[in-house]
């Protein structure tokens, strides 16, 4: 059942997944830096 999974994966899927991870990390970092600068 899983024999041909590596042959059928499109490189675009990996690029999109990597981009989504980087975007999430960027948003998280920006939010944390803004939260740290905000006075309480």
Instruction: Please report, for the chain, the start and end positions of each structural domain, with discontinuous segments joined by +.
Output: 5-37
Q: Which of 3, 19, 2, 22 is nearest to 11 (CA)?
A: 19
> φ and ψ at 23, to 5 degrees?
-65, -45
What is the Cα–Cα distance from 3 to 15, expressed in whole angstroms? Answer: 23
The answer, yes or no, to whether residue 40 has pLDDT greater than 90, is no
**pLDDT for the residue 5:** 63
Please tell me the pTM assigned to this model. 0.67
What is the Cα–Cα distance from 32 to 37, expressed in whole angstroms? Answer: 9
Eight-class DSSP state of 38: S
**pLDDT for the residue 2:** 64
What is the Cα–Cα distance from 35 to 40, expressed in whole angstroms? Answer: 10
> Where residue 1 falls among pLDDT bands split at 50, 70, 90?
low
Quick: pLDDT tens for 4-35: 666 666 788 889 999 999 999 999 999 999 99
**pLDDT for the residue 25:** 98
């Amino acid at each position: 059942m899983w024999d041909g999974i590596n042959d059928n994966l499109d490189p675009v899927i990996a690029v999109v997944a990597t981009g989504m991870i980087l975007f999430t990390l960027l948003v998280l970092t920006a939010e944390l830096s803004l939260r740290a600068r905000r006075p309480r």
